């Protein structure tokens, strides 16, 4: 059934409406979303929906100052997003797990050049529901050394899709940031989805950039500000999707705080480095 839906065409049409600044279109979409999902606007930079110029601007709203506390302890990796941990585990023989029953190849997810980096690694998959805050932040201090864009499809990544479509994450469009850190090197994979259509990197300066322009931005990478701090914004989704964190060496991680199906918030400790 998923294959019969023209996901990219649907994404383009809905994306046009979501970017519309016509008052009645914007208002209908925002009020409909609020009625359906009941997001917490008290933590948003603007609680008055009239201050958002479009539905997309509302959906990708920033947090107001003080609404989150970032764990600044020197060994803590924070959650880069709001969402739910749907999978996590050791990367064994170059394979990751999707929805507890499908295996997919690390090489297909991030490309051949990364394969050897994560032979003894660990992965954490976090699903962002539509009601979640949709900006993506850096989980740990580091340096961006590579940026990629892969994939072509835009299937839904909701739980039903995760449980029914094998290799879902390697079919969909996705961006990959490789980050070197003094503590532990890691990669952050942002997976696009049906109706998302755009993953916007922090270095993009054109608010009206097309999907093809954003893809080129990801392939080019940041021209400056490659040094990033824990909590810095890295990108944002234009609709709900999924983040996959990859850690190089699982033996360095204290995983006691990691619980599957646990709801997480940006800024909270996700995992931490062991005291070695």
Q: Is 175 a catalytic residue?
A: no
* Contact (CB, 8 A) for 149 and 128: no
User: How are beta strands 102-105 and 233-237 bridged, if at all?
Assistant: unpaired
What kind and span of H or E run contains 124?
Answer: strand 122-127
Catalytic residue, candidates 7, 79, 82, 190: 82
* Contact (CB, 8 A) for 45 and 64: yes
Nearest to 127 by CA among 157, 164, 169: 157
Catalytic residue, candidates 175, 194, 241, 272: 241
* Contact (CB, 8 A) for 117 and 181: no
Q: Is 241 a catalytic residue?
A: yes
Residue found under tokens 């994979």: 189
Question: At how many degrees (to 10) do helices 7-19 and 23-37 cross?
Answer: 110
Residue found under tokens 């609020």: 34
Helices H / strands E in the chain, number of each: 7, 16
Residue found under tokens 């997919």: 104
Distance CA 180, CA 113 (A): 15
Catalytic residue, candidates 134, 137, 149, 236: 137
Distance CA 147, CA 139 (A): 16
Specify the DSSP class assigned to residue 208: T
Nearest to 107 by CA among 220, 189, 198, 219: 189
Distance CA 173, CA 8 (A): 11
Q: Is 137 a catalytic residue?
A: yes
**Would you please indicate which residues are annotated as catalytic (active-site) residues?**
82, 137, 241
């Amino acid at each position: 059934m998923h294959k019969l839906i023209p996901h990219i065409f649907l994404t383009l049409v809905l994306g046009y409406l979501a970017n519309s600044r016509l008052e009645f279109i914007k208002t209908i979409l925002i009020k409909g979303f609020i009625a359906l999902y009941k997001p917490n606007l008290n933590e948003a930079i603007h609680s008055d929906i009239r201050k958002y110029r479009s539905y997309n601007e509302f959906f990708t709203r920033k947090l107001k100052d003080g609404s989150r506390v970032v764990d600044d302890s020197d060994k803590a990796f924070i959650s880069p997003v709001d969402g739910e941990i749907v999978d996590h585990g050791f990367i064994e023989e170059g394979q990751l797990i999707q929805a507890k029953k499908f295996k997919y190849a690390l090489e297909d997810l991030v490309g051949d050049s990364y394969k050897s980096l994560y032979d003894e690694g660990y992965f954490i998959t976090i699903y962002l529901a539509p009601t979640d805050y949709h900006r993506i932040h850096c989980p740990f201090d580091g340096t961006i050394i590579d940026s990629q864009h892969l994939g072509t499809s835009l299937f839904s990544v909701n739980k039903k899709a995760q449980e029914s479509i094998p290799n879902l994450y390697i079919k969909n469009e996705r961006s990959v940031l490789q980050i070197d850190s003094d503590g532990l090197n890691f990669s952050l994979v942002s997976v696009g989805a049906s109706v998302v259509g755009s993953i916007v990197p922090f270095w993009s300066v054109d608010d009206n950039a097309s999907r093809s322009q954003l893809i080129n931005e990801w392939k080019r990478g940041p021209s400056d500000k490659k040094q990033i701090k824990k909590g810095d914004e890295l990108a944002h989704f234009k609709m709900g999707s999924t983040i996959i964190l990859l850690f190089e060496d699982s033996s360095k991680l204290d995983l006691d705080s990691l619980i599957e199906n646990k709801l997480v918030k940006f800024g909270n400790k996700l995992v931490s480095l062991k005291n070695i």
